[in-house]
Structure 1
Amino acid sequence: MAAGAIDWQRDPQAAFAQARAAGKPLLLYWGAAWCPPCNRIKSVVFNRTDFIELADSFIALEIDGDSVGAQRLAAQFKLRSYPTLVVFRPDGAEVTRLPCELDGKRFVHILDLALNARFTAAESLSVALSRERALSDDEWRLLSFYSWDTDERQLLKNLDFAAIVASLTRACTLADAVVRLEWLGLHAAAVAGETGLDQAAAIRRLEATLCDNQAVCLQFDIVIGYALDLVRFLTAPGSTARARLIASWSDALVSLEDDDTLDIGDRLNALRTRVRLSRLGAAEPQLLALASARVAEATAQAQGPALRHTVVVTGAGVLSDAGLIDEAQQLLRAELAQSHAPYFLLHSLAALAKRRGEPAAALHCYEQAWADAVGGATRLQWGATYLLALLDLAPRDGARIEHCAAELAAEFAAVPDAAFQRNRTQAARVVKALSAVEDAGAQASALLAALRQLLLNA
C-alpha cells in the first residue's frame, strides 16, 4: 500500500461486512478533529510506514464523533473518550482496546499482536484470573497494554480494577508485563487513595524502572502520565523521599526528552511532566529558559495540521505550567488563524485568562469558541461549557445566561442523537449546574426541563 493510502472506511455496517467477506480483522478509530491525542495518533502512528504496510491486513474504520449519528453508534460500540481504538475479529467479536499514548513503534507492534491474537483480551483475562491454563507471552503483552482508560466496562464489567490488576500482576509470567501491571496497580491505588501500602517498597520498585532506560522507553506512556499522581501518593511534601523520587523521575524524563526516535510532541510532553514535577519539589529556575527554548524549537519544526495542533497545545501547556503565561497566550493567539480547530485553542486561552483573574476575557474566549465550533457533538460540548462558565463567572448576568440557554436548547433539539454518549454527558452537566440555580430565568428553566426529559426518555 502506498504511503498515506490508508483506506479509512466511514460506514460501520459496510466496513464490518467487508471484514467478514475478506476474513480480515477490523481496526476502529473513534476521534474528533479538535482532540489533541487524536491529532497526535494521526501524526505519530497513522503516517508511519510500518502502520501503512500493516494496514493491508485489516479493515480500517474511522468514526468521527461529529458525524451524523456518531454518538448513537458510540453507544452501540461502547465508545466515549477520544480517541478510542478497538480491534475486532472478522466476525465482529471485540479483541482488545489499544492505548493511544504509546510511541509509534510500540503501538504498531501491539496492534500487530492484536490483529493476530488467538484469544480476545476478555478470554485471556478470564483465564488469567481462573488460572485454567498458562497464558502465552503475547497474551500477557496484550493484557498489559490493554487500554483500561477507554474500557467502558467491557472487560471490567462490575469488577474492581485495582483488585484485577493486582491479581494479574501476581499471575503474570512475563517480566516486562509485570512491571507495567505493577505500575497500573500503583496508579489505581493512588486514584483510590488506598492506605496500608508499603510505600518505601513501592518507591524502590519504581526507581528500579526509572533508572533503566530500556524499561523507561517500554513504559514511555505511563512514565509520563503517572508521574504526578504517584509522586503525590507515595511521598510527603518537602520530604527527602519526595526529592529523591522527583530526581529519579526527572532523570528518566530527560532521557525521553533527548530521545530523537520519539516524535517532537512526545519529547515536549516529557518536558511538560518534568516542569510539573519541579513544582512538587525544589524549583528549577533553569527549566524556565529550557521550556521556552524547547517550545519554540518544537513549534518551528511541527508541520501539518495534526502535528502542529498537538505540539502547539502541548507547548502552551509547558509554558503555562512553567509560569510563562504571557508566552503561552502569545503562542495560542498566533496559531488561531492557521489552526484547523481554533475553537479548541480558544478554550485553552479561556483557561489562561481565568488563571490570570480575567473573567471577562475568559468568557469572551468561551463565547467565541462556541461560535466557531464545528460539528454537532462539539457544538453541544462547547455550548455547555460556555453556559457553565457564565454561571460560574457571571452569575448575575441574567440576560447573557438567558440568551445562551435559549441558543443551547435549540442546538440540543436539532441534534438527533443528543441523548447518547458524549452528548448525554453534556446534557447531564447542564442539568446539574442549572439545578443548583435559584430563580433561573424562563429560558434557563426551559432548557433544564427539556434536558431532564431528554435524559429520562433515552
Structure 2
Amino acid sequence: MFKGWLTDVEGAFAQARAQGKPLFLYWGATWCPPCNRTKATVFQSSRFAELAQGFVALHLDGDAPGAQALGARFQVRSYPTLVVLRADGTEITRLPCEVEGLRFLELLALALSSPVTVSEALAAALNGSAQLSDDAWRLLGFYSWDTDEGALLADRPLAATLAQLAEAAPAGEARVRFQWLGLQAALAARTYAGSAAADAAAVQAVLADRASVHAQLDLVLNLAVDLVRGLTAPDTAERVQLASAWAQALEFIENDLARNVADRLQALRTRVRLARLGGPAVNMGMARSRVETARLVVSEQALRHTVINSAAGVLADAGALDEAQELLEAELPRSHAPYYFMHNLATIARKRDDRAGVLRWYEQAARTAVGPSTRLQWSVTYLLALVEQAPGDAARIQAAAADVLALARALPDARAQRNGIQLRKLVGKLDSFAAPAAELAAFARA
C-alpha cells in the first residue's frame, strides 16, 4: 500500500506549492467499506504509487483531531470523498470511489493533467461558451456527484443540471452517465417527467453492450433498484423485461474473474435485490457458495472488510437472516473494525422486530467504536434507537444522553459536519426529559 500520505493540511499545501504539484485529498474512515475497497483496489496498486510522484497525498481521517471542522472547510462529508486540487486550493474535480480500480486510476491521471477544472467545464457546457474536449467531457461525466456537497453544483438542482448536460454532451460514456444519474436524481426528487418506456429502452440498450457495462460498472451495480423501480410498475411485463436485462448484465460482472471479488459480490447482491422487485430468481445454492468462497479466500484486511459487508448483504437481502448474522458474528473477532458490523447486526435484529437485539448491538457498537467522532456519532445512533425502541426506559435514555453530552463537550468540532448532522437528529427527540437529556437537547439546538 502507498505509504506517502501526509496528515497535516497546511503542511501538505505548503509542500504542493513549493513543488508545484497538485494535491490529492482522501477523506475517509477506518470502518467505511467503500474506503476499504478503495484502499485495496487503488491505493495498493503500483500505478497509484507511480502517479503519486506527481502529486502531494493528503489523508484526512474523519476521527483525526479537528477533522470534522476541516471537512466543513473542504465541503467533504461522505466517506470516502476523493478530491484533486491545485496547489492554491482550487478544486479540479472529485472522483467517484465506486468506479473500477483501473478506471479510477485513469481518471486520476486525467484530473492531474487537466488544463481545466470541472467547474470551468460545467460552466462552458451549460452556457455553450466554449467547445469542450473529449477529456473535459469525461472529467464532467465521471465527477462524483454523490459527494458534491455543493462544491460544484452550488444552488443548481442536480436533476435539471444532469439533464442539461445529457442534452449537450456528445454520444459516449459521459452522456450515458448524465442520463442515468439524471434519471435517478429526477426520480428521487419526484420531478421525473420523461417517457418511462423510452428511458427504459435506452437503459436496456446500454445493459446489452458488454463494453458499456464495463465502462459504467459503478452505475450498473448501484442504480439498478432505483431505475427499475422508478421506470416500471410492479407486476408488469415492462418490469420483468428491464429487471431481466439488468440481471444479465450483473451476471456478466459476477462471472468475470478479472474483476475484484468485492465488485463481483456486489453484483450478486444487486441481483438478489432485483429478484425481490420481481426480477429473475437467484440460485441461492450458488449464492451461498460464492459467499463462502469469498469468506475463505480473502484475507487482506481492507478487501476482506468490504467483502464480508457485501456477503452478509447478499444473505440478509435474500431473507437468510440467521446465516447473515452467523457470518457477521464470526467475523467480529477478526475484523479491524468490528463495531461497523455491529450496526449491520442491529439492522438484522430490526428486520426480526427484535427490539432488545437492536439496542444491544447499537450499544455495543457505541461502546467499542474507535475514534472520537465515530464514538460521538454512533452514541447518538444508540440514543435515537433507545428513544424509538424503549421510550419508557428513562434511566437508560438518560445514561446514554449523559454519555453523548460528555463526548460532545470534549470535541471542539462537535457541531461540525458529520458530528453536527448527527447531533441535529436529536432535536425534538428529548424535549420531555430532564437533565442531562435536556442539556443535550439544548446543545444539539445551538
After TM superposition, the score normalised by the length of structure 2 is 0.98
Share of identical aligned residues, percent? 51
- Amino acid of the structure 1 residue aligned with 2:338: P
Q: Does 1:155 align with 2:148?
A: no
Q: Distance in 1 between matches of 2:305 and 2:284?
A: 22
Q: Distance in 2 between matches of 1:118 and 1:261?
A: 33
Q: Which runs of 4+ in 1 moved over 6 A?
A: none
Query: How is 1:110-129 mapped onto 2 (pairs within 5 angstroms)?
Result: 110-129=107-126
Q: Indicate which of 435, 444, 450 corresponds to 2:443.
A: 450
Shift of 1:174: 4.5
SS of match in other structure, 2:425: helix
Q: Distance in 1 between matches of 2:10 and 2:160?
A: 37
Q: Name 2:36's counterpart in structure 1.
A: 39
Q: Is the 2:184–2:227 contact (alpha carbons within 8 Å) kept by the matching residues of 1?
A: yes
- Amino acid of the structure 1 residue aligned with 2:363: E
Give per-residue Cα distances to partners, 1:137-158, cap 9 Å, x unaligned. Answer: 0000000000011111111111
Q: Indicate which of 295, 299, 303 corresponds to 1:303.
A: 299
Shift of 1:447: 1.3
Q: Name 2:3's counterpart in structure 1.
A: 6
- Amino acid of the structure 1 residue aligned with 2:352: R
- Amino acid of the structure 2 residue aligned with 1:92: G
Q: Indicate which of 155, 175, 178 corresponds to 2:175.
A: 178
Shift of 1:215: 0.0
Query: How is 1:353-392 mapped onto 2 (pairs within 5 angstroms)?
Result: 353-392=349-388
Q: Distance in 2 between matches of 1:36 and 1:326?
A: 22
- Amino acid of the structure 1 residue aligned with 2:158: F
SS of match in other structure, 2:59: strand
Q: Name 1:105's counterpart in structure 2.
A: 102
Q: Is the 1:377–1:423 contact (alpha carbons within 8 Å) kept by the matching residues of 2?
A: yes
Q: Indicate which of 239, 244, 266 corresponds to 1:242.
A: 239
Shift of 1:195: 4.4
Q: Name 1:352's counterpart in structure 2.
A: 348
- Amino acid of the structure 2 residue aligned with 1:253: L
Q: Distance in 2 between matches of 1:52 and 1:107?
A: 14
Shift of 1:432: 3.8
Q: Distance in 2 between matches of 1:421 and 1:52?
A: 30
SS of match in other structure, 1:122: helix
Give per-residue Cα distances to partners, 1:8-46, cap 9 Å, x unaligned. Answer: 000010111111111111100000001111111001111
Q: Indicate which of 399, 402, 417 corresponds to 2:398.
A: 402
Query: How is 1:16-415 mapped onto 2 (pairs within 5 angstroms)?
Result: 16-282=13-279, 284=281, 286-415=282-411
Q: Is the 2:247–2:279 contact (alpha carbons within 8 Å) kept by the matching residues of 1?
A: no
Give per-residue Cα distances to partners, 1:396-454, cap 9 Å, x unaligned. Answer: 1111001111111111101111011011011101124324xxx323321121122223x
Shift of 1:163: 1.3
Give per-residue Cα distances to partners, 1:130-189, cap 9 Å, x unaligned. Answer: 111110000000000000111111111111111111111111125221111111111112
SS of match in other structure, 2:63: coil
Cα 1:336–1:56, aligned 2, differ >3 Å: closer, same or farther?
A: same
Q: Does 1:416 align with 2:412?
A: yes
- Amino acid of the structure 1 residue aligned with 2:436: Q
Q: Distance in 2 between matches of 1:294 and 1:426?
A: 36
Q: Distance in 2 between matches of 1:62 and 1:289?
A: 41
Q: Distance in 1 between matches of 2:297 and 2:77?
A: 32
Give per-residue Cα distances to partners, 1:70-99, cap 9 Å, x unaligned. Answer: 011111111111100000112221100000
SS of match in other structure, 1:276: helix
- Amino acid of the structure 2 residue aligned with 1:275: V
SS of match in other structure, 1:86: strand
Give per-residue Cα distances to partners, 1:45-86, cap 9 Å, x unaligned. Answer: 111121121111111100000000001111111111110000
SS of match in other structure, 2:58: strand
- Amino acid of the structure 1 residue aligned with 2:266: N
In structure 2, stretches of 5+ residues that fail to align are none
Q: Name 1:456's counterpart in structure 2.
A: none
Q: Is the 2:250–2:268 contact (alpha carbons within 8 Å) kept by the matching residues of 1?
A: yes
SS of match in other structure, 2:362: helix
Shift of 1:5: 4.0
Q: Is the 2:243–2:280 contact (alpha carbons within 8 Å) kept by the matching residues of 1?
A: no
Mean Cα deviation higher: 246-255 or 293-302: 293-302
In structure 1, stretches of 5+ residues that fail to align are 454-458
Cα 1:257–1:199, aligned 2, differ >3 Å: closer, same or farther?
A: same
Give per-residue Cα distances to partners, 1:372-404, cap 9 Å, x unaligned. Answer: 011111001110000000011111111100111
- Amino acid of the structure 1 residue aligned with 2:433: A
Count, aligned residues? 446
